[in-house]
Chain A
Amino acid sequence: MLIWRYFLKKHIAFIAIIAVMLVVMMVLVVLSIMSGLVERVRLQNHHWSGDIIISRDSMVGFPFYDEFIAQLDKNNIIEAATPTIKTFGLVNSRNPVQLLGIRIRDFCQVTNFADTLQHQPSGTIPDFTVADLTYVKDSDRRLTDRQRKHGCIPGIYTLSRDNFSRNTLWYDGKLLTYLPFDITVFGINSKGVLTGSETGEYRKFWYVDDSDSGLIDVDSSTIYVDFNQLQKLCWMNGTDGKPKRAGEIRIKLSRHITLAQGYLQIKKLWMKFIDEIKMSGQDELLGDVKIETWKQYRRSHIGPMEREKSLMIVIFCLIGLVAVFIVFAIFYMIVTEKIKDLGIVKSVGGTGWGVSQIFLGYGLLVGLAGALMGIILGSSIVLHSNDIDAWLNKHFGFQLWPPDIYAIDKIPDVVDYRQAFVIALVAILASVAGAFLPARRAARLGIVETLQVD
């Protein structure tokens, strides 16, 4: 009863509740969004990369990729594997792009590439063939069968650089117009020397679809083309008498294998494979091939986000300490103000522990009320974070989470209620901790001195 009376009567306690509420709300919002960001970034990077990536830093690439993939198949540790070629070029003679040559069907098995495509009919296997137009704005334009095989799939934000958007190309599920991508790359031989035409190797590719992987660095700079076509353009297809080369092998592990197990097994297999190749004397490009998990492969994109999350947690723990101090200060003031009341309670037989329980109970109620309100408010903010961001952008031109900085297109808006429970629990304990010293002081007060206070 005393706790309730103090709780409801002392307006200053509401300041303590508000302090707890604000800290809980802030921590929940920041942790939810940062955790969601980190998790989404991790997931999207994982889905785009595959599980294990074998690669070489040099653009020269490495040979015998299909042979190694056959070895992986034999050992039953993978679900799928595919080679890729990564190189740089110019599109439409002005914009630099990264070109990724893929075997599109295999690539879709290793990664979630098919899910990133916007216009491929669901259930179909995507390919690079340009659709035969049934609705054409410019009716005199038609591609030959050969041209239609040179399809490309740009990242969604590379499309917007050329003043095209998805909407201008499609109507009612049909491609409106042919969109050319004039791509120039440079051939490089197995010795790492530029080869082929002095002005680069040129080909016109045609828009097939676009890819929205959710990874800003990929979607703003990558154009996907057919592996064989790019291999030919880059002079990596063995025309120099040397084995054909690829830039990477991307691997999806079997479901029964963990990432760590798969990594070790593949590494072991690779070492064994190199030893066999060494015997044939063709191992010159295999020495510095590295094998990485998707986390290692994409660490430059995941790491900063994880570090930022850790930093946020530290910062908000410090802010939490401030809230504890506010609760402490308020309760200390209340004990001082209520010193006579405490003397009265003790004069009728209240124990020191009983008196301190009044304040610990008070601290608990402040913590409970503040935590509950903070969780409700924080959850509402998280669940409506994208609406809030849109409103701020519309009225103030201000974006909370610019996608080009945070490499994400939408603010995570999911509340982890287990995390919320932990935050609430810590807030309640912190509130009780803030009340602890004042409660101890109250317990140790001498009765006569307290009764003589005016």
Chain B
Amino acid sequence: MAHKNETILSVRNLQKSYSVGRTRQQVLRGVNLRIRRGEFVAIMGASGSGKSTLLHILGLLDRPDKGEVIFEGHNVYEQKQTVQDRIRNRDIGFVFQFYHLLPELNTEENVLLPLMVESSVLRWLRHRKKARQQARDIIEAVGLKNQSRQRPATLSGGERQRTALARALVQKPKLLLADEPTGNLDSAAGKVILELLGQRNRSGQTIVMVTHDIMVAELADRKLQLKDGLII
């Protein structure tokens, strides 16, 4: 049974570098981090400090060069690819700065995406009604009931981000990661997103958010600073 304040995620000596021409640029130099269940953590830093890189690694979207990411007691990068895919699908929700919705699908279908990719065709056919209801519930929770049939091109920035948030939450993940969730929104739309995040956290959702905006970071329980590839 999960207890609040229990460690859900810990990171040890995380290192990551990228090739830039002929040289390698070290982005993360040995990050150590611990996130407790139900916590809302904001990671701040200047542009290029490695915030998004850190979040991508936490969300299993990228591999570290060195170090460990322990999620619920397991070193995720030592797991098989299928296990990592399953964690990314069910246990971790990711909200991107630029939404990253599929343009050919409408709101409901975008929110259903994690449920669709999880299932085989037969399993999907058996459980699609339940899945659709799950999607509709979360769509209603983020206030997009009337936009469920619209495609992303016809939604505002705020509505797209709420769709992305709904998609990240549809599987009721244990951990929600948000990479500059308001970075591409006006202040009103951004406020709506932050309110939703706050609501979720109050309901027990563990959230790690990356932001460069101090005002946004005020929402969090704990603020961490990333500088020169290290948490200071």
Contacts and interface: CB of A to CB of B under 8 A. Distances in A.
A349 B89 contact: yes
Contacts of A448: 56, 61-62
A347 B102 contact: no
Contact of B61 (A340, A341, A345, A447): A447
Given A5-B105, A448-B61, A349 B96 contact: no
A1 B102 CA distance: 12
Contact of B88 (A344, A348, A354): A348
A351 interface: yes
A349 B109 CA distance: 15
Contact of B117 (A5, A343, A354): A354
A283 to B, nearest CB: 79
- Interface size of B as a range: 20 to 34
Contacts, number: 63
Interface string A1-22: 1100110010000000000000
A348 B61 contact: no
Given A447-B62, A448-B62, A347 B88 contact: yes
Given A351-B82, A352-B81, A5 B90 contact: no
A446 interface: yes
A349 B86 contact: yes
Interface in A1-51: 1-2, 5-6, 9
Nearest to A354: B117
B124 to A, nearest CB: 9
Given A348-B88, A349-B88, A6 B104 contact: yes
B65 interface: no
Contact of B100 (A9, A347, A354): A347
Contacts of B59: 347
Contacts of B62: 446-448
A451 interface: yes
A347 B61 contact: yes
A403 interface: no
Interface string B92-117: 00101000111111000100011011
A344 B61 contact: no
Nearest to B57: A448
B85 interface: yes
B78 interface: no
A344 B116 contact: no
B118 interface: yes
Given A347-B96, A351-B117, 12 more contacts: A1-B109, A2-B104, A2-B105, A5-B104, A341-B102, A347-B94, A349-B89, A350-B89, A351-B82, A447-B62, A448-B61, A451-B100
Interface of A: 1-2, 5-6, 9, 340-341, 343-345, 347-352, 354, 446-448, 451
